Amino acid sequence: MDVESGICQGNEDSGPSESGIKIPDRMLKREQDRLEGVERKKEAKNSQSVTEEKSGFFTTTFSSERATIEELLEGCSGATDRALATQTLEEVTTKTQLLQKFLNDSMVFLPQYELRQAQAALQKLQNSLAEKRDEILPKKKFAFRSRAANAPKVDPRAPPVKPKDSGRTKVDGAISHPEQCGFSHFEAQVLTKSGDEIKQQDVLLTHLTNCKVRLLGSPSTVHIKHVQNCEIFSGPVSSSVFVDHCTGSTLSFPCQQLRTHHTTDTQVYLHVTSRAIIEDCQGVRFAPFAWSYLGLDQDFKVSGLDRERNNWNEVDDFNWLALGTQSPNWSVIPETERRTEWDS
């Protein structure tokens, strides 16, 4: 029989074939599986190449923009023309905001190490900008940093009160020094930070009970730990908000990412551009961010957050892995129950 005369595929006819050679089904299936495997590897390789190409473009662009901003800041040092220096600072502010947005948009494909490096570099730029602004455009310092409601009167004859701790607060394993921006160990107080005080810093709110906290600016990161029956409203947070051991409270803020641990009976009015994550939580309810204050639009620009993208109701519960079934640990606040008065 001439092999080149043809090949008969399949085993539909178990008898002899005059036109060709039969190939068993198992061999055909094996060849099909092999071809599909080759195609999958090819697609994976192409996808990896695209990711690496995007990452390379990000690194080059980010480094170039950072160098430009650093050069502009350096040019402000020792400047004698106040108007020109002010104009340069405005240019630096705009470039920094655009760089923050570029970083936020690139988070989906950046490796974690490269993302952390870029975030640290951007934070350094923001700190340098704040320092340069203070140097060139100094502002009168106020004698107070927070507004206290029903604060007890202090008897000048009374001996000094020892602080409840050494002046340092642990945050996720680190130690925060007394100059840490935020509030710690307050009860039944109204506590406010202005945008000039926040200046894209990390903010720590810890050991608060029955307090109302207002952050009227754009923090870099916010840590909320050990709070009970509090209202905490913040302007746009350029990176993450971390909540731990929060009970019976109402939180409201825009951010890039939210991570919530050991939290119960708490309402969160949220604008989040990536995902909200909860773990070891119960009774957490979500609604879209609705708080407003004078300067919110500008703070959104400073943060680099996308106002058009809000995944407030896309919550990942790390304690609930049943696909297709709603976690019992969080829910959406019905529209009829959502808060409408924010300054009461």
Q: What is the DSSP letter of 179?
A: T
User: Residue 244's pLDDT is what?
Assistant: 94
> Quick one: tokens of 161?
């009160």
Q: Cβ contacts of residue 82 below 8 Å, gap of 6+?
A: 136
- Domains of the chain are 30-136 (1.20.58.1250), 182-337 (2.160.20.70)
The pLDDT tens digits along the chain (344 residues) read: 444 444 444 444 444 444 556 677 777 777 777 787 777 776 666 555 555 567 788 888 888 888 988 888 888 776 667 777 777 877 888 788 888 888 877 777 778 778 888 888 888 888 888 777 777 766 544 444 444 444 444 454 445 444 444 333 444 433 344 457 899 999 999 999 999 899 888 899 999 999 999 999 999 899 999 999 999 999 999 888 999 999 999 999 999 889 999 999 999 999 998 889 999 999 999 999 999 999 999 999 888 888 889 999 989 888 887 777 889 999 999 999 999 888 75
User: Residue 22's pLDDT is what?
Assistant: 66
How many other CB atoms are found less than 10 A from the CB of residue 45? 10
Beta-strand (E) ranges in 24-126? Answer: none
Q: What is the DSSP letter of 328?
A: T
Could you tell me the pTM of the whole model?
Answer: 0.55
d(CA 295, CA 283): 32
User: Residue 246's pLDDT is what?
Assistant: 97
Closest CA to 172 of 256, 88, 261, 234: 261
User: Residue 148's pLDDT is what?
Assistant: 45
d(CA 134, CA 146): 21
Q: Cβ contacts of residue 149 below 8 Å, gap of 6+?
A: 188, 189, 190, 212
Q: In 3-state terms, what secondary structure has residue 64? A: helix
Q: Cβ contacts of residue 117 below 8 Å, gap of 6+?
A: none
DSSP run (H or E) holding 252? strand 250-272
Closest CA to 230 of 284, 279, 165, 186: 186
